[in-house]
Amino acid sequence: MYDEHYTRLNQYRSLWILVFFDLPTETRKERKIASSFRKKLLDDGFSMFQFSIYMRFCASRENAEVHTKRIKKNLPEHGKIGIMQITDKQFGMMELFYGKKQVETDKPSQQLELF
């Protein structure tokens, strides 16, 4: 029973950060800036959910704030970027489809965090 209680609480404490962006890519310089922004997201542990949506699991609100600040520090000068934090419970309620076929959402892998 304790494990179920801890897991349930943890679903509300752990967060997913979703980064949505629409960056200009008309010139070579703009493509390089957009590519650099995506690379920085990948280097920070984000994975691509869709072409312009990246996500990252964070075990706590404090950890999510660290990554959110890092994103804000690397924002390009032009384009639209949105950052959203949702609980693991909310993320788990998402319905995903490939065409008309529904698929299950991936469970976050256990991460070892060193401070």
How far apart are the C-alpha atoms of 110 and 94, rounded to whole Å? 20
**3 known member of a binding site:** no
Q: CA 88 → CA 24, 73, 78, distances in Å?
A: 31, 25, 31
Cβ distance 95 to 102 under 8 Å? yes
Binding residues: 22
Binding residues for Mg(2+): 22
